[in-house]
Amino acid sequence: MKETEIIDNTTVKPKIIFDKLTKRTLLKNLCEERQVTVHCSIEAGASDKIRIWKSTYLYPDNSKRECALVHAINISLYPEWTPIAVGKTAHFTLIFTALPKNCKSFYLLECIPETNMFYAGDIIRNKEDVYWVEIEVLPIIVSPKL
């Protein structure tokens, strides 16, 4: 008869107790990662392709600090292109760094050295920092602060 082997997989977790001052200091210095999600739609015009430049930012009201694009979903980053059927609506998502806590509204602007930059303005801040916008295409070159 085969001998039975007993394996003990019990994990012992030590209980760590902090004094009030240490606990308060740790909580104060805790850095919570935040981000802003912008779900975008754009109607294809005469072009059969779209893309987004890494130089796309959120510009908060009453702030000189812009929020950088971190990730793009369902749209290619420059210099690549995403095909889109003429006359159809494309949907994509952009993830940005956090807005300042006191921000109440902001706009999205693709800062590129050519015409047809993406823009969405007068976006009102919400608690979730998740937004749905319709992208406009600006036929001119614009400086970031409108």
Q: pLDDT at residue 56 above 70?
A: yes
Q: Say whether 26 sits in a helix, a strand or coil.
A: helix
Q: In this predicted model, what pLDDT tens digit does every residue of 99-117 receive, in sequence order?
A: 999 999 999 999 998 888 9
Residue 44 placed within a domain: yes
Count CA atoms closer than 13 A to 99's CA, side-chain side.
26
**Scanning the structure block, which residue is given the tokens 């290619």?**
76
Residue 25 placed within a domain: no
Residue 123 placed within a domain: yes
Residue 6 placed within a domain: no
Would you say 136 and 120 are in contact if contact means Cβ atoms under 8 Å apart? yes
Residue 143 placed within a domain: no
Domain limits for position 54? 33-138
CA proximity to 56, closest of 101, 102, 88, 92: 92
Beta-bridge partners for 72: 94
pTM: 0.75
Task: Please tell me the total count of domains within the chain.
Answer: 1
Amino acid at 4: T
